Amino acid sequence: MNTAKALVYKMTGKPLEVLAAEEISLEEPKANEATVAMEAAVIHPSDMGMIGGTYGRLRELPAVAGREGVGRVVAVGSGVTEVAVGDRVRMPEDAGVWREAITVPASELCKVPADVPAEQAAMAFINPMTVWRILHDFVELKPGDWVLQNAGSSALGQCLVQMAHALGLRTVSVVRNVEKWEPILKSLGGDAVLAEEKDSIKKIVEIVGGKDNLPKLALNSIGGESAARLTRMVSFAGTIVTFGGMVGDLIRFPTREFIFNDLRLRGFWMDRWNREATPEQREALAETIFDMMRQGKLKMAVDAVYSLDEYKTAIARALEGGRNGKVLFRGNVA
């Protein structure tokens, strides 16, 4: 029996305290099975939540960490027709992707185009798909409409700016450091960048050309006062979709906005959409994202790439503020 290195946690807690690099068993592929070697895997805040025990869906312990990544098929058992050696596939999420390799039923593997760079393909399944669904599932938007977001400097925020631009939508991104992020977001197709402060409520009216043009849709991934501020920056009957809570603070109930502005607060969880969607719907969405990457309409920023052996440095970097892009793990396959 072979072994493969994996980042394992046997109890929930702070990632740097409970994660460990271990050699775990790697079975040779039997009939209808395939072995996949990891090419690239992503570190997300949701990974930290899962390791910490606060995420909406937790794994049975002990568990291998990581939710998003791609790999190459390096061996197949008899009877396998779904994939072939050399194919790029998505690493099976539920088993944990921060590992060198895994052997699974071939029927569970989803092919990934080889003409999309591995680092970009590895980041295609969570943030871009979340943005696409939020832009299409809550409010009917037309070209020229404004979309508002906080955490505009985040990886998902940069993704939103690019996707909205490709769809003919205009964006207002709220950030902490305008001087740093305004040129970056505008280079990606963003239209306006605002500071995370009270005056932003007045400034957005000027930017969009009057209260009648305020955004019908806002994306919240921070919570607390930042989210409360969004409630005063959207149009009548505006919708705010929450999909994250970076600060963990409670959102003050915006009574006035509910009564006089018919505000709608919604939530979105990509995991639930994936579980409820058909395989055809998931495949179509993935192909949409890959096509945008091929055309250069979507490029996800990479801050740093580390080996699994360097996981402590990688996790520490992922937890730092001020990054421009995701931290990734790289595998041992070319």
Whole-number Å distance between alpha carbons of 268 and 30: 39
Record the pTM: 0.93
What is the C-alpha to C-alpha distance for residues 240 and 227, in angstroms, rounded to an integer?
9
Query: What is the arrangement of strands in the sheet containing 63-64, beginning at the earlier edge strand?
Result: 19-26, 2-9, 63-64
Confirm whether 55 is a catalytic residue.
yes
6 vs 256: CA distance, rounded Å? 51
Among 214, 216, 218, residue whose Cα is nearest residue 157: 218
Q: What's the whole-number mean pLDDT along residues 222-251?
A: 83
Q: Which two tokens stand for residue 102?
A: 């895994």
189 burial level (CB within 10 Å; 0-12, 13-18, 19+): middle
Please count the other Cβ atoms lying within 10 Å of the Cβ belonging to residue 320. Answer: 10
Q: What is the predicted pLDDT for the residue at 1? A: 55
3-state secondary structure of 332: coil
User: What confidence tens digit (pLDDT) does each residue in 65-88 have?
Assistant: 999 999 999 999 999 999 999 999
Confidence tier at 223 by pLDDT (50, 70, 90): confident
Taking the CA of residue 303 as centre, how many other CA atoms within 13 Å lie in the half-sphere pointing to its CB? 22
Indicate the average pLDDT of the chain.
Answer: 92
Label residue 157 by pLDDT band (50, 70, 90).
very high
Catalytic residue among 9, 55, 306, 311: 55
Write down the pLDDT at residue 246: 63
State the amino acid at position 179 in one-letter form.
Answer: E
Q: If we measure between CA atoms, which residue out of 62, 42, 45 comes closest to residue 302?
A: 42
Q: Measured between alpha carbons, how far apart are the two ends of the chain, in Å?
A: 24
260-270, pLDDT tens digit by residue?
888 999 999 99
The span from the CA of 41 to the CA of 125, in Å, is 11
Cα Rg of the chain (Å, integer): 21
**Helical (H) or strand (E) element with 281:** helix 279-294
The two three-digit tokens of residue 173, written as one number: 């991104």
Examine the pLDDT at 287 and tell me if it is beyond 90: yes
Q: Report the relative pairing of strands 217-220 and 146-149 from DSSP bridges.
A: parallel
- In this prediction, residue 261 carries a pLDDT of 83
Residue whose pair of structure tokens reads 């639930």 in the numeric block: 272
Please give the domain boundaries of the chain with CATH numbers for all domains.
2-123+301-330 (3.90.180.10), 127-270 (3.40.50.720)
